[in-house]
Amino acid sequence: MKKQSVKCTNVKILIPGADNFIEREEIDAILKQSQGDLVGRKLQDINTHEIEKTIQANPYIAFAKVYADMDGVINIQIKQRQPVLRIINAGGQDYYIDREGLKMPMSPNFTANVLVATGDIFEGFSGRIDTLVTPLVVDLYKTALFLKKDTLWDAQIEQIFVNAKRDIELIPRVGNQRIILGNADSLAVKMSNLLAFYKQAMPQVGWDAYKTINVKYINQIVCEKNVFDSLAVKKPVVVLDSNAIVQRAIDSTVRSVINEEIKKEEEKIIAKKVVPIVVNKTPAVVKPTVVSAKPAVKAPAEKPKTEKPKAVEPAKEKAAVKTDPSLYKPPAKSTQEKAKTGVEKKEKTDTKKNNNK
C-alpha cells in the first residue's frame, strides 16, 4: 500500500572496488535508455528485476542488485568482473579473462593491472561474454589464477609467453631468465620446486646466471646457463690491452714448458716400458746356466786347481793316490812284484815320511 503512494526520490549507485571498468554516468545512461527517468515515479511502477537484468547485460558487470527502501530511494549495488589475465593473441586482439573463466572486452575507461599473455595464441574474442575454447587458453587461465592467489608469485611473475612449441613461459620481475612451465598440470609441484631453486641455487650463482629455468618435468629442474653472465662482462673491463698482450706471451712460454715436460714424461714412460721387456728375456737365458752351475760343484773344484800348482800340491796328491793304501788299492801286478823283491816296505816308509814333511 505504501509503494502505491511513495515516489522515487533518489537513485544511489554503489560500485565497490578500485577497478572501475564502468562509471556511474554509464549506469545512469543505461537506466535512462531502458527505464527513462526514475526520480518522481511511483515505486510500484518501477520494475527492479528488469533493471537488474539490464545492468547485468553489461560485459563489465558480474552481478547487480536493485531494491527500493521505504523512503523512496532506489539502491543499485554493482559487482564488477575481476580480470586475472589479459590476452594479446597472435592477431593483435586484446581481451580479458575474469576469475570465472569468462572472456570480457577491454575497457576505454580503465586498464587492469594483471598478467599479460602473448605469443602463439590463436583464440579470439567475438565481443560477447563467452567461455574459453582452446586447451592452451584454459591452461593460461589456470596458471594466472594460481599465480594470483599466491602473493609471492603475483609479485614476481609479470608476463606469460607462449613459445613456438606451445609451452608456457613465465617472465619474472627479478632476474633475466625465462621459466619454462610447459602446461598447467601439477602447478603446485612445479612452483614449489622453483621456490626451492630460488632459495638454494640463486643466492650462490646470482639471479642472471641462467638463461632459462625449465620446471616442466616433475621433480626436476633443467637450467641453461646464460652466456653473457657477470664474469664474462667484467673481464674486458678489468683487463687492459697491454696486460692481455703480456698474458698471451706468458701463456705461450708456459705452454712450451709444459710441452717439454710432457715429452720428458713420455720418454720416461717409454724407458720404463722397455726395461721390463729386457728383464723378461734375460731370465729365460740365465736360468739354464744357473741351474747347470748349482748341481755341478765345479767352481769350488776349479779354485783349488788354480792355487795348488803354485804350492806344488797336485803332485803330492798324485803320489798319495799311487802310494797310500788307505785311499786306493794298488794294482794286483805291482803289489805282487814288490812283495817278491821286498821293496814294498821301504817305499811305504819313505812315502809316510814324505807325507809327514
Q: Are 179 and 194 in contact (CB under 8 A)?
A: yes
C-alpha cell at 205: 650463482
| Burial group, residue 55, by CB count within 10 angstroms (0-12, 13-18, 19+) | buried
Residue pair 314/302 in contact by the 8 Å Cβ criterion: no
* pTM value surpassing 0.85: no
Predicted local distance difference test score (pLDDT) of residue 352: 62
Is 123 within 8 Å of 114 (Cβ atoms)?
A: no
pLDDT by position in tens, the chain (length 357): 776 778 888 999 888 876 678 888 888 888 888 888 888 888 888 888 999 999 988 888 988 999 988 888 999 999 989 999 999 999 889 999 999 999 999 988 888 889 999 999 999 888 888 889 999 999 999 999 999 998 889 998 999 999 999 999 999 988 888 999 999 988 999 999 899 888 888 888 887 788 899 998 877 888 888 875 444 444 333 334 445 544 565 566 656 766 677 777 777 767 765 544 444 444 444 444 444 444 444 444 444 444 444 444 444 444 444 444 444 455 555 555 544 555 555 556 666 666 665
DSSP 7: B
Helices (H), 104-167: 135-149, 151-156
What pLDDT, on the 0 to 100 scale, is given for residue 168? 94
